[in-house]
């Protein structure tokens, strides 16, 4: 019945695509059906499900999860307050154009928006109308907004990176239990620092591509008659906002503040601004709180669904199949990395980052970390692959969401041509990080997350010696 777990895993994206159900319902439904089949066939013992309450309680006792509703609240406040629009106008003046300003705003808002979908929604609401106003072609708008929406995958300290750091810590702990090596387990801070340089490279290449494109088009196009005015008050508000948000993010990355403290500080400051200016009163305040609760509830529902899903998957002993596949992959650690990154890239074509982090990472990363030598390097490669997959048209998550939310019916050929430069930038950074692992350690200790490379036989024996459950 090991293959039943793989069928269950494949059924989740299929159910989501065919029915439109949210991910947590698709996971719960697939898990329940396969659990009933497994129990009926005698492949699962009923005692397995006694561990489910303890797993859920243990998950929700994680102090790091306190940051999630706070970051969601920050994103909701930025969406409703006029601050984002003011910052966009100021960045347009500073960077010399609205397209570059859109990228800058995407890098600023992505860590607070939580997911690719939330970032796409914010950018299409704030930036897309202004790009249309100055005559930016629809295909270019789609490409720029889609690329900006993916920046939250690699720009710390985003919700994706917070959850991914926690998942990597658990996966690395499992790998170290296998290898019996005494070394420090990676944590969320290590993932932040490891992603910092690659994320900066991606953002710099994005800016360079847009600047070069704008410069080339300016020589053969008539100047736009639209002028974006910026008052002295706008400059002051944007300066304070940029300083505060960048300062908070920097404090989290360098370890001065915990993610929970920074999120609470930012949310409180934005809430005070909204109350003082009168932007958050009556129905507006109620809508803000409802939006925050709905998003937070969806995230925690996803956590519970993922925990239940992985319990059934392990009960069916299907994790052994994935472990054997990763360990038996020819080419040593390089072959194992290529296989896992390929599987994650395919999953990212139909799943959001949260589903990948909560379901796929716990299953694929532990055996990979047994074979591969560097947990921070592996983690950074996974993040870059996720970001790249979200941009691949026509199924890339960011491209699909931006096209739908922004009502941009761009033909597939034009979409591919517009997105291609950003994809090439992604592939370039991914190749550089793969070839030069030192890039992830420029801001993190070089020894962080290192595990010895094991032979195929040694890795298989070590993984088989582990129990198939986390309990």
- Residue 401 to residue 132: CA distance in whole angstroms: 18
Total domains in the fold of the chain: 1
Is residue 470 in a domain?
no
Is residue 278 in a domain?
yes
Is residue 55 in a domain?
no
The CA–CA distances, whole Å, from 114 to 6, 176, 192, 249, 264 equal 29, 30, 15, 14, 15
Is residue 261 in a domain?
yes
Is residue 453 in a domain?
yes
The one-digit pLDDT tens for each residue of the chain (471 residues) are 788 888 998 899 889 888 888 889 999 999 999 999 999 988 888 887 888 888 888 877 777 788 888 888 888 888 788 888 888 889 988 888 888 988 888 888 877 666 787 778 878 887 888 788 878 889 999 999 999 989 989 988 888 888 899 999 999 998 888 877 777 889 888 999 999 999 999 999 999 999 998 888 767 655 555 556 788 988 999 999 889 888 988 888 888 888 888 889 988 998 998 888 888 888 888 999 998 898 889 888 988 999 999 999 989 989 888 888 888 888 888 899 999 999 999 988 888 888 899 899 999 999 999 888 789 999 999 999 999 999 998 888 889 888 888 788 889 999 999 999 999 999 999 999 999 999 999 886 555 554 455 555 655 555 555 544 444
Structural domain containing residue 72: 2-41+60-216+229-464
- Bridge partners (DSSP) listed for residue 374: 450
Is residue 186 in a domain?
yes
Token readout for 254 is: 């360098």
Is residue 221 in a domain?
no
Is residue 52 in a domain?
no
- Residue 225 to residue 216: CA distance in whole angstroms: 19
pTM of the model: 0.88
């Amino acid at each position: 019945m090991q293959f039943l777990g793989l069928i269950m895993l494949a059924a989740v994206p299929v159910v989501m695509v065919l029915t439109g159900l949210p991910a947590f319902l698709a996971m719960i439904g697939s898990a329940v059906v396969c659990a009933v089949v497994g129990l009926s066939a005698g492949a699962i013992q009923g005692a397995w499900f006694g561990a489910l309450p303890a797993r859920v309680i243990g998950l929700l006792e994680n102090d790091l999860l306190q940051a999630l509703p706070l970051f969601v609240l920050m994103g909701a406040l930025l969406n409703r307050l006029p601050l984002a629009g003011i910052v966009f106008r100021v960045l347009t003046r500073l960077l010399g154009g609205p397209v570059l300003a859109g990228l800058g705003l995407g890098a600023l808002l992505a860590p607070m928006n939580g997911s690719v979908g939330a970032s796409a929604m914010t950018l299409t609401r704030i930036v897309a109308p202004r790009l249309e106003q100055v005559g930016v072609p629809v295909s270019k708008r789609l490409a720029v907004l889609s690329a900006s929406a993916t920046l939250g995958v690699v720009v710390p300290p985003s919700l994706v990176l917070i959850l991914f750091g926690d998942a990597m810590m658990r996966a690395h702990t499992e790998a170290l239990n296998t290898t019996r090596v005494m070394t420090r387990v990676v944590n969320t801070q290590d993932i932040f620092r490891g992603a910092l340089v690659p994320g900066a490279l991606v953002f710099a290449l994005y800016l360079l591509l847009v600047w070069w494109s704008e410069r080339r088009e300016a020589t053969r196009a008539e100047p736009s008659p639209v002028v974006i005015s910026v008052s002295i008050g706008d400059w002051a508000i944007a300066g304070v906002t940029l300083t505060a948000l960048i300062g908070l993010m920097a404090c989290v990355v360098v370890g001065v503040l915990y993610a929970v403290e920074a999120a609470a500080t930012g949310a409180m400051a934005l809430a005070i601004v909204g109350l003082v200016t009168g932007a958050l009163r009556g129905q507006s305040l109620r809508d803000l709180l409802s939006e925050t609760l709905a998003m937070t509830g969806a995230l925690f529902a996803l956590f519970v669904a993922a925990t239940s899903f992985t319990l059934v998957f392990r009960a069916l002993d299907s994790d052994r199949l994935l472990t054997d596949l990763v360990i038996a992959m020819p080419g040593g650690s390089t072959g194992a990395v290529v296989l896992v990154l390929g599987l994650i890239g395919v999953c990212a074509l139909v799943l959001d980052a949260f589903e990948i982090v909560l379901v796929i990472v716990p299953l694929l990363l532990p055996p990979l970390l047994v074979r591969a030598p560097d947990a921070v390097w592996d983690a950074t490669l996974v993040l870059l692959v996720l970001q790249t997959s979200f941009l691949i048209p026509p199924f890339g998550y960011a491209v699909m969401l931006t096209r739908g939310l922004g009502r941009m019916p761009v033909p597939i050929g034009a979409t591919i041509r517009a997105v291609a430069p950003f994809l090439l930038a992604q592939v370039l950074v991914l190749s550089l990080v793969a070839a030069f692992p030192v890039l992830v350690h420029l801001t993190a200790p070089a020894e962080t997350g290192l595990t010895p490379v094991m032979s195929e036989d040694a890795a298989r024996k070590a993984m088989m010696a582990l129990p198939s459950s986390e309990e």
